[in-house]
Amino acid sequence: MSASKPILIVGGGVIGLSIAWRLVRRGQPVVVLERDRVGQHASRVAAGMLAAAAEVGYEEPELYQLCRASLQAWPGFAAELEAESGLDLDYRSFGTLVVADDRDAAAALRRGYAFQQAQGYPVQWLSGAEALDLEPMLSPRIVAAVSVPEDHAVDNRALLTALEKAIRKHGGQVREGAQVERLDTMPDAAAVVLAAGERLEGSRIVMAAGAWTSEIKDWPGGTAPSIRPVKGQILELQTRPPFQLRHVVRGRKAYMVPRSDGRLIVGATSEEMGFDPHLTVGGIHGIMDGAWEMVPGVLDQYLLSVDVGFRPASRDHQPLIGFTADPRIFLATGHYRHGIVLSAVTALASERMLLDGVRDETVVFFDPSRRQTRS
């Protein structure tokens, strides 16, 4: 292996691009190989919530702490990327309001609140009236809410554009329409073979192919990591004054993430439908019904777009970050619902492991050696 060979990054979503940016800015040649167009799939069809508390389950304290570590890294990560790309990421430091509209929902919210407190997260319990004071667009039916002031948000589409721009600025290559069909690892070479037949050698290969990871053939040892697509449908609205949300608002059936320019992202379904690309009336109805129950004024806003994406889910719904048994193959995939928030910590840890040879304690729990392969 020659040190002058590039690191090949398979996947041009937020994880692949973030890692490529961290590597290329240190002078490491990189080639990003994206099967379609960069940033078109799960990373684009996302809301950009930088939320540790709102999306992680009770049985996932390690994932929760990883999200928190990423949240702490995000302000610096965003500021550096904005400076290098010259683009505004619409990084917003308002918090999340997790709301409950009946007694059952309030009881579930109370359990989540206790978990978050036990994890040391600064959260505040609010009555319905207190929540309405903070967020006047809420429905008067809201009976309770938890305020999570440390949750932030970013415009994920701006983030993807900025990453690509910064990579290219540093001389990194980003190749679109470059579908990796299989790995080709021999004792003296680590390579990928594209569907079109081209073979590319690298010093290392970073597998960040998201929901498509398991489709790639010929993994060393014969076993691909098990990553499945979990379909999500999401809406983008253009809001009109006087409608304005001051927080990310989420309930049991929907979440809403406001942008500075008045757009509002409303999501999302979670469907075990494989790579089914269709929008469904029921999916959109379910999201809007949940959104309307929390914020009735949302129904008067303009619909801009509706999209489908595929979250990459590992067997335990937690990411795989680190070297495989073959030290030339590095995994950064399976980020499921948390790709945008975890992009910062994943990229920083990957940079340390790939360029400095340092074992990174923040991601050690997410080492790919845990049993995740397809048998």
- What are the residues binding ligand GLY (CB under 6 A)? 47, 49, 55, 232, 267-268, 311, 337
How far CA 343 is from CA of 19, 321, 356, in Å, comes to 8, 11, 19
Nearer to ligand GLY, 275 or 325 (CB): 275
Give the Cα separation of 190 and 204 in Å (integer): 7
Nearer to ligand GLY, 55 or 155 (CB): 55
Nearer to ligand GLY, 21 or 255 (CB): 255
CB of 23 to ligand GLY, least distance (A): 26
CB of 47 to ligand GLY, least distance (A): 6
CB of 223 to ligand GLY, least distance (A): 27
CB of 45 to ligand GLY, least distance (A): 9
CB of 309 to ligand GLY, least distance (A): 8
Alpha helices in 170-298 (DSSP H): 281-294
| Structure token pair of residue 24 | 């290329």
* CA neighbor of 207 nearest in space, from 199, 219, 197, 195: 219
End-to-end CA distance of the chain: 30
Nearer to ligand GLY, 28 or 318 (CB): 318
Nearer to ligand GLY, 22 or 337 (CB): 337
Ranked by CB distance to ligand GLY, the top (closest) residue is: 337
Torsion, Cα of 71, 328, 6, 24 (10° steps)? 20
Nearer to ligand GLY, 38 or 49 (CB): 49
CB of 92 to ligand GLY, least distance (A): 16
Phi, psi of 224 (to 5 degrees): -85, 150
Nearer to ligand GLY, 307 or 360 (CB): 307
Nearer to ligand GLY, 137 or 268 (CB): 268
| Structure token pair of residue 79 | 């500021």
- Residue 4 identity (one-letter amino acid): S
Give the Cα separation of 350 and 338 in Å (integer): 17
What is the DSSP pairing of strand 204-207 with strand 329-333?
parallel
CB of 89 to ligand GLY, least distance (A): 17
Helix (H) or strand (E) holding 332: strand 329-333
CB of 148 to ligand GLY, least distance (A): 14
What is the DSSP pairing of strand 248-250 with strand 255-258?
antiparallel
Give the Cα separation of 209 and 198 in Å (integer): 18
How far CA 115 is from CA of 7, 72, 252, 256, in Å, comes to 40, 20, 17, 23
Task: Confirm if 317 and 335 have CB atoms less than 8 A apart.
Answer: no
